[in-house]
Amino acid sequence: MIAEKLIVNCIDDAHAIAGAGFAVAEPEGRIIAQAGMKESISVEEVSSFVASGDDMREDRQLLIRIKDGEDTDLVLIADKDAGEVAAKLVASQLRNLISACSGRIDRNSYFRDLLLGEMPMDEAGRRAERLHIDRGIRRCVYVIEPEIAKDNNLMEMVKELFYSQAGDHVTAVDDSRIVVIKALADGDEAEDLEESARMLVDMAESEAMCDVRVAYGTVVSDIRGVTSSYREAKMALEVAKIFYPMKRTIEYGNLGVGRLIYQLPVDLCQLFVKEIFGDNIPEEIDEEILSTVSKFFENNLNVSETSRQLYIHRNTLIYRIEKLQKATGLDVRVFDDALTLKIALMVVNYMKYIKGSE
């Protein structure tokens, strides 16, 4: 149903322009909006008019039935001095509002079903044509996940950034994430997709006061590909939370080794970790050592730069590296050992994620 605020605004505008009284009631007689009415509105008269089946009645007041299809949605009530022409114009405006809002609801249901894969692909094309959705333009799906529960401020901000007139659509398929189906211009490239993701992160922080992570799938050239782009964006979001927790924007096509580990069987992961660490899994290794190694990896195994960023003496860093070597048998100053440890730690994080999801 059309939002009551829109009806109130329409009636207020009609009264201001025509200088006559107008009101809108539901078929049962409840008054939704009124402005400038000279006579009281009778619920019994409204109910009697609806039951009569007439499209218009002129008695004490002028009553006009407003329908969307076969059912009566609203009844317009106008003072007699408003005139039949003015009353019919206001009724026509209300019908247009109802039609526009019904189309918006249908579009939202369409895109939700499409995202969730609850619509046959041949039906997706037919429904797009009925809803006047251009099925052939390039699109990309973004999934936005806030650090805290989704709120209305964030949703409204996203809707202001991406609007239907440009071919975009914003919706939510669960209580924690917002989905943007973005229509792309002919010249949009990978850099533009990343820029849109960064814009969402920055605007969420500055306007909605909310930290978010944004993932996006591959570009699709047909409306039916939206389903796969959404699945890719969801997967990218999960991979980033496990392996790249500091990243705020994540592209499905740039997941690195995290993509490979994410799809490994758990028993194979357990075997690999056992092979590298034995019974001394990283949870039992000094947290200070692990954070030092992480910074060492970030600086491409550069001892001097790592010690500088950690504000520790070079010898202290070497001591920590050697302590890790004693615990694991891996010397991270050697490339092969560093690579093995890096992957092993990622596998451990993945196993923690799996365990926490059970």
CATH number of 116-255: 3.30.70.270
- pLDDT value for 235: 95
- Chain centroid to Cα 100, Å, comes to 22
> Would you say the CATH fold of 116-255 matches that of 4-101?
no
pLDDT tens for each residue of 200-242:
999 988 887 889 999 999 999 999 999 999 999 999 999 999 9
The fold adopted by the segment(s) 264-357 is Arc Repressor Mutant, subunit A (1.10.10)
User: Helix (H) and strand (E) counts for the chain?
Assistant: 13, 10
- pLDDT value for 280: 65
Q: Domain 4-101, what architecture? A: 2-Layer Sandwich (3.30)
Answer yes or no: are the C-beta atoms of 314 and 232 closer than 8 Å: no
Q: Coil, strand or helix: which one is 57?
A: strand
**Domain residue extents for the chain:** 4-101, 116-255, 264-357
Give all strands (DSSP E) within the chain, no chain letters. 22-25, 31-35, 56-58, 62-68, 71-78, 139-146, 169-171, 178-183, 212-216, 249-251
Question: Which amino acid, residue 313?
Answer: H
Residue with tokens 């909605």: 208
Which regions in the chain score pLDDT beneath 70? 1-3, 68-72, 101-105, 150-151, 280-286, 358
Say if pTM beats, i.e. exceeds, 0.75.
no
The Cα–Cα gap between 40 and 32 comes to 14
The Cα–Cα gap between 57 and 113 comes to 42
- Angle at CA 169, nearest 5°, toward 216 and 239? 20
